[in-house]
Amino acid sequence: MKFKRNATIEAAFSEPEFAVGADGTRIAYYIYGEGPEVMFWQHGFNSDAEHWEYMLPHFPPDEYRIIAPDLRGCGRSDKPADERAYGFDRLTHDALAVIRAEGLQGCTLVGHSTGGAIVQWLAAELGDAIKALVLIGPVPATGVPVNDAARAMFLQGADGEGKVQGRAQILKLGWYGEMPADILDALLPGALTWSKEAFVGVFDTWTRGIHFPERLAHITAPTIVIGGQHEPFLKKDFMMAAVVAPIRGARYVTVLDSAHFIHIQAAPVTAGIARGFVAAQPSLQR
């Protein structure tokens, strides 16, 4: 699986814009394209915004305008030195700050993993201002509780001697089959931008700090949930009960031969599903 970043993607990630969160944290975000179809893409845990680069070539820049932030604590966003600064309220309001900085109206929200939980909250908060909601292997509104063994496995990547190996192992867990060395080499630098406090704080958030199932009834945007056939944690039955059923009219699509990093391992298919779904929705007044 070879990937070569094109000049348009290179330019998009060359210099970030910045929005300011409620506590003064600067949130870096990137703008790709100048098209009329506006989308907000939020990445998840142990990733950064540049992990979207596998999807971006399938979105022509003259048709789409994509806003993709780095979560606080990673990429080129500020990194508060306090694990308490990474609660769900901070993550969601950072995303709102970016949306407001860009004056986004009638846009589509796209989220992967923890980013999927963030955009579910945004869709509930923004209601009819959202055109469509695309959830890729999303953390549900109830979070994803893990046992002590899984917690220890994940947190070995927090810092110290196990940091590189631990963060690499998390990436490999989300891949169907053996992750090619060139893909790991491309993804690992983004994972390593996470500060220790962000890594631990956001891990605690998606495992036990997210709980807003009652808000899902407020989502009015047409919603599609995209899951990997070999997803290790967020399996279809769990997704159907925790995400699809509570959102009115939501649909679920399984992508074959992929696990958690669907948007990377099966980028053309994932992009095609997202583009087709969004194109089928009526435009909103801006």
User: What tens digit of pLDDT does each residue of 88-130 get?
Assistant: 999 999 999 999 999 998 999 999 999 999 999 999 999 999 9
The CATH number of residue 52's host domain is 3.40.50.1820
284 in any annotated domain: no
Write out the H or E segment, with its range, that includes residue 10. Answer: helix 7-12
The answer as to whether 135 is a domain residue is: yes
Q: Which residue in 253, 236, 232 sits closest to 179, CA to CA?
A: 232
Task: Quote the number of domains for the chain.
Answer: 1
Report, as ranges of residue numbers, the positions in the chain whose pLDDT lies below 50. 1-2, 286
Q: Is 221 helix (H, G, I), strand (E, B) or coil?
A: coil
What domain range includes position 164? Answer: 7-279
Q: How far is CA 105 from CA 31, 39, 101, 211, 264, in A?
A: 16, 10, 11, 26, 28
- CA-CA distance, 72 to 21, in Å (whole number)? 9
Say if 190 falls within a structural domain.
yes
Residue 285 lies in a domain: no
> Does residue 191 form part of some domain?
yes
Instruction: Confirm whether 236 is domain-assigned.
Output: yes
37, part of any domain: yes
The SS3 of residue 175 is coil
- Can you give 130-156 as a three-state secondary structure string? EEEEEEECCCCCCCCCCCHHHHHHHHC
* pTM score, whole prediction: 0.97
Residue 1 lies in a domain: no
